[in-house]
Chain A
Amino acid sequence: EVQLVESGGGLVKPGGSLRLSCTASGFTFSRFSMNWVRQAPRKGLEWVSSVSSTSTYIYYADSVKGRFTISRDNAKYSLYLEMNNLRAEDTAVYYCARGHSSAWYIFDSWGQGTLVTVSS
């Protein structure tokens, strides 16, 4: 069974930094692209960032480009999101999601999410 478990969320002041982690199990992590998708309180889904299976290709939403960095460690079955210069509008539940085997942009398994709150 595919399992994705996020951690690292919390309360941070505007301008601060936070590092999210996602630990995977139940599948061969190194064979799949991985993604972060977020959901602001009572709002819809927003794609944040994606990394290919070998980290060759990395993509960011315009709203986070230059502030967020996605990375992965295939040996540790882990995905990361380094978030810097955080803003109030970054407040959201951040989901780790696996890319489908046929297309990185189809999210076929999701974690339960970790809440990031940016507030003074």
Chain B
Amino acid sequence: SYVLTQPPSVSVAPGETARVTCGGDNIGSKRVHWYQQKSGQAPALVIYYDTDRPSGIPERISGANSGNTATLTISRVEAGDEADYYCQVLGGINVHPVFGGGTRLTVL
């Protein structure tokens, strides 16, 4: 099956820029979606089709996808951005939804 690789953790100071990567074989040929899961809450979609934001998601959250890496970028990080972030694609032999292992973003 198709494997998505994310770093377990990323740390950033408030006001700085956080980048969460998602690696996969030629992931640039796929459409990547990102979910944010705050502690004790259900996940929420924050980016879909690589770069699109659902209504209510601030512009400082953005996505990019090229080659073997997709990246979720959070600019001007706030304490409220602290969460687990998951990338997701449609992949594998059976063409099913696949999630990355998740990255915990810690705001220092």
Q: Which residues of A contact B (CB under 8 A)?
A: 35, 37, 44-47, 50, 59, 61-62, 95, 100, 103, 105-113
**Pair B33/A106 contact, Cβ less than 8 Å:** yes
**Bound CA span A46–B45, Å:** 15
Give every chain A residue within 8 A of B77 (Cβ-Cβ): none
Q: Hey, what's the 0/1 contact readout for B19-55 against A, CB within 8 Å counting as 1?
A: 0000000000000010101000111110011000010
Contact of A107 with B35 at beta-carbon distance under 8 Å, contacts A44-B102, A95-B42 already known? yes
Say yes or no: A105-B86 contact (C-beta < 8 A), given A110-B42, A111-B42. no
Contact B42 A105 (CB under 8 A): no
A110 smallest CB distance to B (angstroms) = 4
Q: CB distance B43 to A95 under 8 Å?
A: yes
Q: How many A-B residue pairs have CB under 8 A?
A: 54
A107-B33, A107-B97 are known contacts; what are 6 more A-B pairs with Cβ within 8 Å?
A45-B43, A45-B102, A95-B42, A100-B48, A107-B43, A110-B44
B residues sitting closer than 8 Å to A (CB atoms) are 33, 35, 37, 41-45, 48-49, 54, 86, 88, 90, 94, 96-102
**By DSSP majority rule, is chain A's interface helix, strand, loop, or mixed?**
strand
- Taking CB atoms, residues of chain A closer than 8 Å to B98 are 47
> Could you list 29 examples of A-B contacts with CB < 8 Å?
A35-B97, A37-B43, A44-B99, A44-B100, A44-B101, A45-B43, A45-B88, A45-B99, A46-B99, A47-B96, A59-B96, A62-B94, A95-B42, A100-B48, A103-B90, A105-B88, A105-B90, A105-B96, A106-B33, A106-B45, A106-B48, A107-B45, A107-B88, A108-B48, A109-B45, A110-B42, A110-B44, A112-B42, A113-B42
- Residue of A61, A95, A106 touching B96 (CB-CB under 8 A): A61
- Taken together as a complex, chains A and B put the C-alpha atoms of A90 and B1 apart, in Å, by 20
B31 to chain A, nearest CB (A): 8
> Are B86 and A45 in contact, with the CB atoms below 8 A?
yes
Complex alpha-carbon distance, A67 and B92, angstroms: 21
Report the minimal beta-carbon distance from B34 to chain A, rounded to whole angstroms.
10
Complex Cα distance, B99 from A105, in Å, reads 11
CA distance A44 to B102 in the complex (A): 6
Instruction: Among A44, A62, A109, A111, find the residue whose CB has the most chain B CB atoms closer than 10 A.
Output: A44
